[in-house]
Chain A
């Protein structure tokens, strides 16, 4: 529409109606897309709730735990010592029943799970059963919020460095197809078949155990430095090893993948034409290679942003990094359902929102993509 420079009056009205149809098309598309994404999120979260409750098994565990706790309480209480056994057992039964009623364990899980689902979807995450945050709160939101900065710090540093360094190195390599460094990266790309914590163990060995220049793990030195600069330096020192093990484990494969990707686009006919015209390689790169690859780069970046929230369970454990990954892991080991559901729902929402926004970003950067018009992005 932007190319319509000479607009006559009838054309102008036509364009206006064109704008209206575009708007309705986009709105309709957004509606349908949001609905389908929402349904996916609901299904995913409901599955998580059912699995995290182990299809009702957690209820049984809780009931027997309540029974044990109240029996012990009554036996240990000197006030009930003189009571005759029949009254005492009746009292025990009553107390157990009232506790079960209080927690609503009598109603079947299928009905209660609907309540759980509603709470989860409205981000009303409730209270943890066993875990508590470092400040002592039982609130699931507090537990998760407390850990998010650490996970974001670690994953953000590692992934942003990884993303931009590999992207630019790959671009440089794609110019020198078949050179020594190109072959070097190809040879080293299988290093990524090993998970980050493997590199973590060796980095700890080399830099912490043998060379003793970097800490073994944790976030900050034991007597916390008083001034801000000291604290920042200390955290930075603790960050080096976990971040580099995360970077190292996908560095070469990532360069290799981007390089292959750029190579495919630089063998297009229009790039050949541009070369034949004698355009400088900088211009060719910017106008003809980077432009069509932009949607893919943006997708990779968006997926990276989502990935930041998940944390890395084993890497965090090896480095004793207090992030979300360790919270999830602990919650699963303790069967702390609210915490498990809480971490999952946040992740699911972020994923859905990113996927939704991506469609619009595609349409913005790629004029070939038209939202909601049949062949739109899927």
Chain B
């Protein structure tokens, strides 16, 4: 065992250039390329940091997110005041809150920390939902082709013709009011209970799922079409594999790379959608802290207390940049030919 280990050390010792004779797996190779991309590594580390913040929010946040201290309304610490000196004439100082307190005296910092939970949940669940629906839909459409393909793609076209933000707003307004006051014991009641338990996230997921899968379905169909006629599919068919097996065992693993990359690049969009919905008041239920609703509250008082809009907006932007950089890095790593394209 000792010899191969020393050999391996040598392999990666000089300039990271492998001199290995062994073939490297695709994933290992991609991982190495990803690690060499500085922006992607920074983005990835920020995401890990945010994940830790979200998981340990209870421990890290100095106050509970819904605790109102009315005497501390709009108070802010000294360093925020020196950042925005326009607030000098009326600002009330209080060193208790690092980013200041909002209009009902809730600690902004705690709310931003708890806000990572909402944004990151959307960032991870959103792609999963749209991947599952989109990949199944797209691979069926692309694999079977013909009239079925035509019909399925026309449905996608109709969805495309719709402005997606308007569609998701209408859907959410529909959910929010249909499930507003259902009678206990019915199906609607249990759904609304589940949604309330998730702080209003369930409907956001359903909304994203119903609108975002169309892009994924189109992409999957295109990818499936491009490998459908390859020799290995022919071989599998000759060996007697059925359609399901060919689709999921032979075709999907060969097209999954671009799909994962597309989803990673779509994550900032999902985060932005959630923030948008919370901004206009049909996203998460108050008092669940979401950066979107915090920015919305802050935008009301941006003339007097700009810090209440700026810090959540910065948190949102940093998260979106992090996912964007990671997505770019992943794309370059998984398919070096695409480097520098969008």
- Is A44 a contact partner of B303 (Cβ separation < 8 A)? no
Given A54-B178, A209-B86, A190 and B328 contact (CB-CB distance below 8 Å): yes
A41 to B84, CA, bound (A): 50
A9 to B317, CA, bound (A): 72
**Stretch binding the partner chain, chosen from A91-99, A196-204, A356-364:** A196-204
Binary B-proximity of A183-227 (CB < 8 A = 1, otherwise 0): 000100110011100100110110011100000100000000000
- Number of A residues near B (Cβ < 8 Å) is 46
**Stretch binding the partner chain, chosen from A103-111, A116-124, A155-163, A311-319:** A311-319
**Stretch binding the partner chain, chosen from A136-144, A231-239, A253-261, A278-286:** A253-261
Complex interface: chain B residues within 8 A of A253 (CB): 342
Complex interface: chain A residues within 8 A of B272 (CB): 194-195
Given A54-B174, A201-B310, A332-B169, A190 and B340 contact (CB-CB distance below 8 Å): no
- Is B163 a contact partner of A43 (Cβ separation < 8 A)? no
Q: Is A327 an interface residue (CB 8 A)?
A: no
Give, as a whole number of angstroms, the nearest-CB distance from A265 to chain B.
14
Q: Which of B149-196 contact A (CB under 8 A)?
A: 157-158, 161-163, 165-166, 169-171, 173-174, 177-178
Q: Which of B117-173 contact A (CB under 8 A)?
A: 157-158, 161-163, 165-166, 169-171, 173
Q: Is B295 an interface residue (CB 8 A)?
A: yes
Q: Tally of A-B residue pairs with Cβ under 8 A?
A: 112
Give, as a whole number of angstroms, the nearest-CB distance from A46 to chain B.
11
- Is A193 a contact partner of B310 (Cβ separation < 8 A)? no
Q: Which of B67-96 contact A (CB under 8 A)?
A: 84-86
- Is A194 a contact partner of B178 (Cβ separation < 8 A)? no
Complex interface: chain B residues within 8 A of A190 (CB): 321, 324-325, 328
Give, as a whole number of angstroms, the nearest-CB distance from A80 to chain B.
31
Between B309, B321, B323, the greatest number of chain A beta carbons within 10 A of the residue's beta carbon is seen for: B309
Given A201-B295, A201-B313, A257 and B342 contact (CB-CB distance below 8 Å): yes
Given A40-B158, A204-B302, A318-B299, A57 and B166 contact (CB-CB distance below 8 Å): no
Q: Is B105 an interface residue (CB 8 A)?
A: no
Q: Which of A55-85 contact B (CB under 8 A)?
A: 55, 57, 61
Given A198-B317, A260-B342, A57 and B280 contact (CB-CB distance below 8 Å): no
- Is B320 a contact partner of A44 (Cβ separation < 8 A)? no
Give, as a whole number of angstroms, the nearest-CB distance from B314 to chain A.
9
Given A193-B268, A256-B342, A210 and B161 contact (CB-CB distance below 8 Å): no
- Is B170 a contact partner of A332 (Cβ separation < 8 A)? yes
With contacts A210-B86, A253-B342, A347-B163 known, what are 4 further pairs, Cβ within 8 A?
A55-B174, A209-B302, A333-B173, A333-B281
Enumerate 29 A-B pairs (CB-CB under 8 Å) in ascending A order.
Answer: A40-B161, A43-B158, A47-B162, A51-B171, A57-B174, A57-B177, A190-B321, A190-B328, A194-B317, A194-B320, A198-B316, A202-B313, A205-B84, A205-B302, A205-B310, A209-B84, A209-B86, A209-B302, A209-B306, A257-B342, A260-B342, A313-B165, A313-B280, A314-B279, A317-B279, A317-B299, A328-B169, A329-B169, A333-B281
- Please give the residue numbers on chain B whose beta carbons come within 8 Å of chain A beta carbons, in ascending order: 84-86, 157-158, 161-163, 165-166, 169-171, 173-174, 177-178, 268, 272, 276, 279-282, 295, 298-299, 302-303, 306, 309-310, 313, 316-317, 320-321, 323-325, 328, 340-342
